[in-house]
């Protein structure tokens, strides 16, 4: 067996420990986690191997490793872990490290996810939005009926938000491109059926079928599904709005009567975002004992999405009630958080949509998923006999 030189990256270990994986070092490699996990492939299953790589600081092992993204953090592993090493939380922390690796500039991942800098990361967008409002609308409470375009017209919103979204998506896309190349390299995969893989992945994501495999936190299926579709709905309604206003130069479809279906669709989306966030927070607290409460990285995203949903809904209700004193400030907060959601898209936990999507797609592209299914079929397989001495070398 070829000799290997271990190059531990201690900063990598420290990074994991600091971002929610503080239980990492408790792992004693029993592999209960890999067995109770319902979403792992049979061959080279996770998260046992990831736990030792992370303990030893073998950062390069995570280069192009799709497995940490196949993890849906059901936390079945954490519930059964005999040592309280919380593999679910550790993998979450490792994912943060890989986001940092692929979303450039990587320093933004640290800034966005640094609890001490939290006021700053919202203050900057707030100042920016305030400047645009001061330049184009009314920075204050406009008189008369509550109409949000009095505070900020449609055009400046588009000038501000469209580039923010494009920036977020572009950084994510570039990250995925690098990640994809690394996955191909690390796994020795040169070709595959990309189109079918993408279609199959989309089907899997839309149905959320992987979430159904979770035992410990079945409720996450519902909360994530609701939240996911709230994003889909709100994305579609926003796109329709842009289509009407910018391309067709028609009246906004959000006015009652003229655009009732789009409007109703949007209200459903807003309700879903609020309900989904509440469900998610509730699950976290309910399962706190066995699964842990989650890291700052998790809560930041839940927080941003929650504020977006609540402020949007509240602003809408306050407008209907004609309470300008509430409607305008809340609308301002709403704008700030939507802007934050967009620009921090590839740097917050929301980046999982890029990298998990890519990893799930790669599983199909590389044929590993099909292979795993084939292995799972016959129940019988003899264990491999191996001398411990040899094995130690292998682990090394």
Partner 1 sequence: MSELETNVLVVGGGISGLTTACEAAEAGYSATVIEQETFLGGRVTRLSKYFPKLCPPSCGLEINFRRMKFNDRISFYTLSEVENITGSPGNYEVKVTAKPRYINDKCTACGACAEACPVEVPNPFNLGMNNRKAAYIAYAQAYPFQYAIDRAACSGDCGTKCKEACKYDAVDLDMEPRSFTIKAGSIVLATGWKPYDASKLDNLGFGTSKNIISNVQMERISAQNGPTGGKIVRPSDGKEAKRVAFVQCAGSRDENHLAFCSSVCCLASLKQATYVREQYPDSKAYMFYIDIRTPGTSYERFLNTVKADENVSLVKGKVAKVYDDPATGDVIVELEDILAGKKIKVPVDLCVLATGMQPTVSEMKLPSEVKVNENGFVVMDNDQKGIYAVGCAKDPADVAKSVQGATGAALKAIQTVGRNA
50: Cβ contacts below 8 Å, ≥ 6 apart: 62, 65, 67, 68, 87, 90, 91, 94
Member of 19, 23, 40, 73 binding partner 1 (CB under 8 A): 40
Q: Does 389 bind partner 1 (CB under 8 A)?
A: no
- H/E stretch holding 77 reads helix 76-80
> Which structure tokens are listed for 168?
């977020």
Please state, in angstroms and as integers, the Cα–Cα distance from residue 159 to each residue in 113, 121, 133, 163, 396, following that order: 27, 20, 12, 7, 54
Select 6 or 384, whichever has its Cβ closest to partner 1: 384
Number of residues in contact with partner 1 under rule CB under 8 A: 32
> Phi and psi (nearest 5°) for 161?
-90, -35
Under rule CB under 8 A, residue 382 binds partner 1: yes
Q: How many angstroms from the chain centroid is the CA of residue 173?
A: 14
Q: Could you please report the per-residue DSSP string of 347-374? A: TSGGGHHHHHHHHHHHHHHTTHHHHHHH
- Binding to partner 1 by residue 379, rule CB under 8 A? yes
Kindly tell me which of 247 and 382 has the beta carbon lying closer to partner 1.
382
CA 231, 327, 261 angle in degrees (round to 5)?
45
Q: Please pick, from the candidates 17, 32, 200, 263, the single residue that binds partner 1 as defined by CB under 8 A.
A: 32
Distance from C-alpha of 78 to C-alpha of 56, rounded to nearest angstrom: 20
Closer of 44 and 115 to partner 1 (Cβ): 44
Considering only residues 49 to 108 of the shown chain, the ones binding partner 1 according to CB under 8 A are 49, 80, 82-84
- Residue from the set 24, 36, 270, 272 that interacts with partner 1 by CB under 8 A: 36
Candidates 23-31, 104-112, 204-212, 344-352 — which segment interacts with partner 1 by CB under 8 A?
23-31
The contact mask relative to partner 1 for 103-142 (x = CB under 8 A, - = no) is ----------------------------------------
Q: How far is the CB of 388 from partner 1 (least distance, A)?
A: 8
Which one of the spans 37-45, 139-147, 177-185, 190-198 is the region binding partner 1 (CB under 8 A)?
37-45
Does residue 374 interact with partner 1 by CB under 8 A? no
Are the beta carbons of 335 and 129 closer than 8 angstroms? yes
Exactly one of 14, 203, 286, 394 binds partner 1 (CB under 8 A); which one? 394
Among 34, 197, 223, 295, which residue sits at the site for partner 1 (rule: CB under 8 A)? 34
| 393 near partner 1, judged by CB under 8 A | no
User: Nearer to partner 1 by C-beta: 78 or 340?
Assistant: 78
The three-state DSSP-derived secondary structure of 301-352 is HHHHHHHHHHHHHHHHHHHHHCCHHHHHHHHHHHHHHHHHHHHCCCCCHHHH
Stretch that binds partner 1, among 36-44, 187-195, 227-235, 358-366 (CB under 8 A): 36-44
Burial class, 142, CB count within 10 angstroms (exposed 0-12 / middle 13-18 / buried 19+): middle
Instruction: Using CB atoms within 10 Å of the CB of residue 174, give its burial: 0 to 12 exposed, 13 to 18 middle, 19+ buried.
Output: middle
Q: Which is nearer to partner 1, 159 or 374 (CB)?
A: 374
As measured in angstroms, the least distance from the Cβ of 392 to partner 1 is 9
Residues near partner 1, by CB under 8 A:
28-36, 40, 42-45, 48-49, 80, 82-84, 375, 379-386, 388, 391, 394
């Amino acid at each position: 067996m070829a000799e290997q030189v271990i190059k531990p990256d201690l900063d990598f270990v420290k990074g994991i420990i600091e971002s929610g994986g503080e239980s990492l070092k408790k792992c004693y490699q029993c592999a209960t986690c890999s067995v109770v996990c319902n979403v792992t492939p049979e061959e080279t299953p996770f998260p046992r191997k990831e736990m030792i790589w992370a303990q030893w600081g073998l950062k390069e092992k995570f280069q192009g490793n799709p497995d940490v993204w196949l993890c849906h953090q059901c936390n079945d592993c954490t519930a059964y872990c005999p040592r309280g090493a919380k593999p679910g939380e550790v993998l979450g922390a490792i994912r943060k490290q890989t986001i940092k690796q692929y979303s450039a500039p990587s320093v933004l991942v640290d800034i966005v996810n640094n609890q001490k800098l939290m006021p700053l990361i919202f203050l900057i967008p707030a100042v920016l939005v305030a400047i645009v409002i001061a330049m184009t609308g009314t920075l204050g409470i406009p008189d008369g009926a509550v109409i949000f375009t009095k505070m900020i017209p449609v055009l400046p919103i588009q000038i501000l938000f469209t580039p923010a979204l494009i920036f977020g998506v572009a950084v994510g896309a570039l990250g995925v491109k690098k990640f994809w190349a690394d996955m191909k390299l690390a796994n020795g995969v040169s070709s595959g059926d990309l189109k079918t893989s993408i279609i199959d992945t989309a089907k899997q994501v839309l149905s959320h079928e992987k979430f159904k495999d979770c035992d410990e936190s079945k409720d996450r299926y519902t909360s994530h599904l609701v939240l996911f579709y709230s994003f889909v709905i709100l994305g579609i309604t926003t796109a329709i709005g842009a289509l009407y206003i910018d391309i067709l130069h028609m009246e906004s479809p959000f006015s009652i009567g003229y655009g009732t279906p789009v409007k109703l669709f949007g209200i459903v989306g807003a309700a879903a975002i609020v309900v989904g966030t509440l469900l998610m927070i509730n699950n976290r607290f309910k399962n706190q004992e066995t699964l842990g409460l989650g890291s700052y990285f998790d809560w930041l995203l839940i927080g941003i999405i929650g504020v977006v949903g609540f402020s949007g809904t509240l602003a809408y209700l306050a407008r209907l009630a004609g309470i300008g004193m509430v409607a305008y400030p809340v609308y301002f907060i709403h704008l700030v958080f939507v802007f934050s959601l967009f620009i921090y898209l590839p740097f917050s936990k929301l980046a999982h949509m890029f990298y998990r999507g890519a990893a799930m797609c790669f599983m199909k592209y590389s044929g590993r998923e099909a292979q795993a299914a084939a292995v799972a079929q016959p129940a019988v397989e003899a264990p491999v006999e191996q001398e411990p001495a040899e094995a130690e070398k292998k682990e090394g």
